[in-house]
Chains A and B, each alone.
Chain A
Amino acid sequence: MRAAINQKLIEMGERERLKELLRAKLVECGWKDQLKAQCKDVIREKGLEHVTVEDLVTEVTPKGRALVPDSVKKELLQRIRAFLAQHATL
């Protein structure tokens, strides 16, 4: 069922819309700037020339998850639940 729902999400374009919505909200609330500052720290630590994508991802992603504000999470969840209520067949 999970796969079916995910497929529906993608096919109907809803996943793309949700992604854009999330991105916009995260920029608005300053999350992106906070995380960019974190990235700067990692870069200064590892050295500008030698930093890799893996470095950034492993260091920054957990902080990124934690720093998402609750209001943003709530709003996204609302939209997701609405979609599931309409399209999830059990």
Chain B
Amino acid sequence: MSSLDNSKLEGLAQEILSDLVEDACLGLCFDVHRAVKQGYFFLDDTDQESMRDFEIVDQPGLDVFGQVYNQWKNKECVCPNCSRSIAASRFAPHLEKCLGMGRNSSRIANRRIVTGNNTNNKSESDQEDNDDVNDNDWSYGAEKKAKKRKSDKNPNSPRRSKSFKHKSSMMGPRRRMDNQESPRMLMKDEAFPQ
């Protein structure tokens, strides 16, 4: 009995598949017919010559347009600032450091200043300050503030003795406040009935 059911089911499945294929064929025919009548069916064909001109290129060392794609690997450029000859792929990072512009160069220079190195890039540090103000990620001023506050909190923070519950609830909002005095005042025992 089960084999009869199976063959029935199989026949049914084949029928359903046949219907689906027919749907797909009809759909295609309707699309093509509409394209013909609306005039856009042959749009991607042009004359034979143009077709040959723009054919896909399949040779080693070339991309599909026929251009050489590692042409600039070995070229060297002369830096306008220091007049050195730099490899093309290293040119952009070199320019950043050389001219003292760009995000990384300002951070490196700031780091140098902080660690007390004497560099001869004094004039460029003015440019870097402007860069930092416009920098969206972080600005040197805020980092200073954050660093300072961290070092302030550690030695004489009254919070050290407080329970963990208060610490975690108060940490978030206080970060944003400019006045360093007020949070500490709030942490005194009188303010929080326990």
Q: Which residues of A contact B (CB under 8 A)?
A: 2, 5-6, 9, 15, 18-19, 22-23, 26, 32, 35-36, 39, 43, 48, 51-53, 56-57, 60-61, 64-65, 68, 73, 76-77, 80-81, 84-85, 88, 90
Contact = CB atoms under 8 A, between A and B. Distances in A.
A65 B17 contact: no
28 contacts: A5-B12, A15-B20, A22-B21, A23-B27, A39-B28, A39-B29, A39-B32, A43-B36, A43-B41, A52-B33, A53-B33, A57-B26, A60-B25, A60-B28, A61-B25, A61-B29, A64-B21, A65-B18, A65-B21, A65-B22, A68-B21, A76-B20, A77-B14, A77-B17, A84-B9, A84-B12, A88-B9, A90-B8
Contacts of A81: 9-10, 13
A61 B65 CA distance: 37
> What 4 pairs between A and B have smallest CB-CB spacing?
A64-B25, A56-B29, A80-B13, A61-B25
Contact of B25 (A15, A19, A52, A65): A65
B23 interface: yes
Given A56-B33, A60-B25, A80-B17, 18 more contacts: A5-B12, A18-B20, A19-B20, A23-B24, A43-B32, A43-B36, A51-B33, A53-B29, A56-B29, A60-B29, A61-B26, A61-B29, A64-B21, A64-B28, A73-B17, A77-B13, A88-B9, A88-B12
Given A80-B13, A81-B13, A26 B32 contact: no
Contacts of A76: 17, 20
Interface size class of B (residues with CB under 8 A): 20 to 34
A15 B23 CA distance: 11
B29 to A, nearest CB: 4
A73 B158 CA distance: 75
